[in-house]
Amino acid sequence: MMDAEALYRAHVRPLYTFIYSRVGNRETAEDLTSAVFIKALTHLDPTREEHSLVAWLYRVAHNAVADYWRGGCGARVIALEEVRTAPQTPPATDVGREEQTATRARALLARLPENYRTVLSHRLLEGLSLAETARCMGTSEGNVKILQHRALKRAAELQEDDTVDG
Amino acid sequence: MDDDVERLNRLLDDLAAERDPRERAELSATEVELAQTAAFLKAAHGERSTPSEAFVERLGRRLAAGSSTETIARQRTARMLTTTLAAGLLACSLTFPLTGAPTPAHAPAPAAGLAARDRAACLAIWPAVQRCRADLTTVTGDHQQASAKLNAVQRAPRRLGPDARRMRNVCLAARVNRLNFAAGARHTAARRVKAELHAALVDMAESACDCTQFAHDIAGGDVGAAAVPLECSASARTAATAHMRMVTSYVH
């Protein structure tokens, strides 16, 4: 058994990271984290075992992220029906691995060819503009656009392979 | 192909700048997949993917307040709920400029004269409200008229204490916004604006606890009635009800 405060304290940070690594901006991650906890704790069943509660929480978060990417104003409002009927098992790769999210993201970057890794690092981690990235890489902005497109598609393929492999 | 490359470039610009890429354009399934991969790669920056302590504490207080007062909150009247919600909405917009274009570049940060608690709350929702104001202007095309109404409100006789007067002004601002919503209800962007305002209400619930005097002052007037909660989906209404309970408990 676990009370609401203990659940919150133990899982707010990894849950935020879980969400941030899927939406990519702090404001949305905060909004969705808030919505998930408010909805989840409103319907908390304290008699559940902790692992069951945590699995449920991540399923709610998973659905919130999916809803966010589907678009519409429902991004910050999670239907209670969805919470109640959510499966009890979280996505296999989610629970217990969020603290290693940064490590896994760096590992994914490291598996990319060097020019792909460089362009994505400049754009996503260092926050460089297209022009700045082009200058750093000694190429044209047009080439950077094409390179980053290919790099991200390759990263998505590798990520998909990881998911399938388990 | 060229179009795909251009769209992805804009998507990366948004993600790198911590903007919501969905606000610029509707994303295809492929773009969503790539955006999620990009978001995952951003998490390689460990510090960025960790929540701020301020956020963790703020949400923790909100959740604690909500769970400890639920029983009391059930007994509150609908009118007081409405009034308090208006206070919450107002608190989030009371520090905004009432004239001029609501561009983020020109919008000042929440005023230094606010109580520390209110100021912290305002700062927390500042980006969302900036977007909300910009969206309202887009939806209605009538920001100047709204500004004129708000300025007239500010010149009203000062019968109330400073905090209550400030909160009343915010309520009237909410009233203007609601009229703007009605005008733009058929505009697709209006749905997102409603969501933003709903989120602002939720985030401001905590600061409303400082508005006891305000709630008392206006309970007999029509300001609260003017700020009837926005029309929303069933799930949003359910969520709003839970927050109203929390907010109401602060007032009493």
Nearest CB to B20 within list A25, A33, A77: A25
pLDDT tens profile A130-164: 999 999 999 999 999 999 999 999 999 998 887 66
Q: Let me know how long chain B is.
A: 252
Average pLDDT over residues B220-232: 32
Q: pLDDT class for B237, splitting at 50, 70, 90? A: very low
Which residues of B fall within a CB distance of 8 Å from A68?
22
Which residues of B fall within a CB distance of 8 Å from A75?
195
- Judged by average pLDDT, the poorest of A32-36, B1-5, B217-221 is B217-221
CA distance B11 to chain A (A): 11
Q: Is A143 an 8 Å CB contact of chain B?
A: no
- Judged by average pLDDT, the poorest of B57-71, B169-183, B225-239 is B225-239
Measured distance CA(A26)–CA(B138) in Å, rounded: 25
Contact A102 B194 (CB under 8 A): no
pLDDT at A101: 82
pLDDT tens profile B125-158: 344 444 444 444 443 445 554 444 444 433 443 3
Q: Which of A115-129, B22-36, B47-61 has the highest mean pLDDT?
A: A115-129
Nearest CB to B8 within list A42, A105, A149: A149
Which residues of A fall within a CB distance of 8 Å from B51?
12-13, 16-17, 20, 29-30, 33
Which residues of A fall within a CB distance of 8 Å from B198?
76-77
Q: Is A51 an 8 Å CB contact of chain B?
A: no
**Does the structure show a pLDDT above 50 at B10?**
yes
Contact A41 B67 (CB under 8 A): yes
pLDDT at B99: 29
Which residues of A fall within a CB distance of 8 Å from B15?
24-25, 124
Q: Which of A4-18, A34-48, A62-76, B212-226 has the highest mean pLDDT?
A: A4-18
Measured distance CA(A20)–CA(B116) in Å, rounded: 28
Q: State the average pLDDT for chain B.
A: 52
Q: What backbone torsions phi and psi does residue B230 show, to the nearest 5 degrees?
A: -65, 150
**Residue in chain B lying closest to A18 (CA):** B49
Kindly list the distances between the CA atom of residue B119 and the CA atoms of B55, B84, B125, B165, in Å, as whole numbers in the listed order: 14, 18, 10, 17
Greater model confidence, B102 or B174: B174
Q: Is A148 an 8 Å CB contact of chain B?
A: yes
Which of A73, A81, A82, A116 to substitute to test the interface with B, most B CBs within 10 Å? A73
Nearest CB to B43 within list A27, A77, A102: A102
